[in-house]
Chain A
Amino acid sequence: MSLAPPLFLQTIEDTAFSTWLRESESPFAFYFILLFHTFGLALLVGANVVVDLRLLGVARGIPLAPLQRLFRIMWIGFSINAVTGVLLVIAYPTKSLTNLDFYIKLAVIGLAIWVMQRLKTEVFADASLSEADMMARGATLAKWSLFLWFGAITAGRLLAYTYKYLTYPS
């Protein structure tokens, strides 16, 4: 890839907001957003992992139906991460958008959210299902969920080690 990164990345980076996010010494700038991105991860993946483990037979004494309430926590976590994720891209647009890993991460998250929604609609939304039926229907989805969230975290962590440009090359 010898082509220069597209110019709009530089335009975003030169805005006052992007510059503030990236360069401000304020504790509420970059690291604050990164922190909330981690909080969101803990809520989204943490809650989903509990549902996945239960569907795979861990702690079978936990009744499945009330676990439906965890989906709200997952969506809160997802919302936090959607907002903070956009802000992180605004802070370092060239770093993220020129990195293939960034697109892999988005794709994996998309798949993981799709699986999460299927868990909700196919396993939890049908009140007529017995616990055994729910587990039978949910086991494969739960395995995919664990695998995809592991992949999402990994792809996210790798963003710190795989970028080509930190900021727009001058």
Chain B
Amino acid sequence: MNFVYLHLFLNHFPIIGTLVGLGLLLVSLFGKNDDLRRASLIIFPAMALVAILVFFSGNGAEGAIKKLPGVSEAMIERHQGAAMLALLFMEITGAFSLVALWKSHETSNTTRWNWSLSAVLLFSIVTSGLMARVGTTGGDIRHPEIGTGQEEVTETSMLSKMVQRFEPSPDKFAGLMTASKWWWAFMMDMHFVGLALLIGTVGILDLRMLGFAKQIPIDPLHRLVPWAMAGFGVNLVTGILAFTGMSNYYTYDWAFWLKMLAIMLLGLNVAAFYLTGAFDSVEGLGPGEDAPPFAKFIAATSLVLWFAVITLGRYIQSYSDTISVHK
């Protein structure tokens, strides 16, 4: 597996995607365009998901190039610290976007401004700036035409000096995650609690669409989705923290990457559910009414993929060190 290519291919998406999302959001404010606003609220969570992959692939890319001549470890460290801060803001932006989407669905009124939209606006502006810094600090690592190959990391502008104060030191942060086995045990515990909450709430909705307990109307069941997202949020946070704590353990593990692939496919599946009319076709289903085949297909895909995620997660430990890195 070539992590450098993977990282270089993926890294453009969240940087440009966040800017596109912010652009659409701003245009939608002035033009009062609901479709554009909705598009931006979908782009941010999508980018938040992809940004996780970019972040994870960065560790493998680091492993592949850090021994090369002319590559400064200090530059990599700076890029990684910038990436951690940007990832934090990216995930918060994605989470607020989902809240805003949910609110607009609840009130079936997308034009009304509310606090969640303000939060999306604020956090996406900050994220765009931080992403720009991640991009430039990453480019500095190995672009001889812009860098001078200097070993020292010096922040030139006031702004980057200020931002850098908030960026964690990657090594120190990783050390904090693994310093106490009880902290690690707590994170793993919460990862399982999140799993139960997520699978329970998503599972019942999927099963109902497939025909189980048909007396339950779909619309009230759908109100469990924020609880599913809460479970997913707990697992996203504990998962990212665990990765930063033991990044080499996860990076060279096939089961881990297949798990990430399954989670990305689940993101596409959710998008397909809400954007292709499948949700509209089931939302009004009352007691005893059957879901159309396409909605059933999406529900079955969701169940299969979530159990694949559990399976692959379980096999991470036994598949550690299964990815060989070609030098």
Contact = CB atoms under 8 A, between A and B. Distances in A.
A42 B310 contact: yes
Interface of B: 181-182, 184-185, 188-189, 192-193, 195-201, 203-204, 212-213, 215-217, 219-221, 223-224, 227, 287, 307, 310-311, 314-315, 317-318
Contacts of A149: 196
Interface stretch (A7-15, A89-97, A108-116, A152-160): A152-160
A143 to B, nearest CB: 15
Given A46-B201, A49-B196, A65-B215, 14 more contacts: A27-B315, A35-B310, A38-B192, A41-B195, A46-B200, A47-B200, A53-B224, A59-B221, A63-B287, A70-B204, A153-B192, A153-B196, A157-B189, A161-B182
Nearest to B189: A157
Q: Say whether chain B's binding surface is mostly helix, strand, loop, or mixed.
A: helix
Nearest to B205: A50
B189 A59 contact: no
Contact of A35 (B189, B212, B311): B311
Contact of B193 (A48, A59, A153): A153
Interface in A43-77: 43, 45-50, 53, 58-63, 65-67, 69-70
Interface residues of A, number: 36
A7 B300 CA distance: 49
A103 interface: no
A48 B198 CA distance: 12
A17 interface: no
A49 B199 CA distance: 10
Given A47-B200, A63-B215, A161 B181 contact: yes
A69 B215 CA distance: 10
B224 A58 contact: yes
A156 B185 CA distance: 11
Contacts of A66: 213, 215-216
Contacts of A39: 307, 310
Contacts of B188: 157, 160
Contacts of A69: 212-213
A46 B196 contact: yes
Nearest to A37: B314
B216 A59 contact: no
Nearest to A31: B318
Nearest to A158: B185
A16 B314 CA distance: 25
A139 interface: no
A59 B223 contact: yes
A139 to B, nearest CB: 17
Interface of A: 27, 31, 34-35, 38-39, 41-43, 45-50, 53, 58-63, 65-67, 69-70, 149-150, 153-154, 156-158, 160-161
Nearest to B195: A42
Contacts of B314: 31, 34-35, 38
21 contacts: A35-B315, A38-B192, A41-B192, A41-B196, A45-B196, A46-B198, A46-B203, A47-B203, A49-B197, A50-B201, A53-B201, A58-B223, A61-B223, A62-B217, A62-B221, A62-B223, A69-B212, A153-B192, A157-B188, A157-B192, A160-B185
A43 B197 CA distance: 10
Contacts of B223: 58-59, 61-62
Contacts of B184: 161
A118 B216 CA distance: 23
A42 B231 CA distance: 12
Contacts of B198: 46
Closest 5 CB pairs of A and B: A46-B200, A61-B220, A66-B215, A59-B223, A45-B196
A160 B199 CA distance: 23
A65 B215 CA distance: 9
A47 to B, nearest CB: 6
A69 B318 CA distance: 36
A47 B185 contact: no
Contact of A62 (B216, B311, B318): B216
Contact of A154 (B189, B224, B310, B317): B189
A150 B193 contact: yes
B318 A63 contact: no
A45 B201 CA distance: 11
A110 B200 CA distance: 21
B170 to A, nearest CB: 25
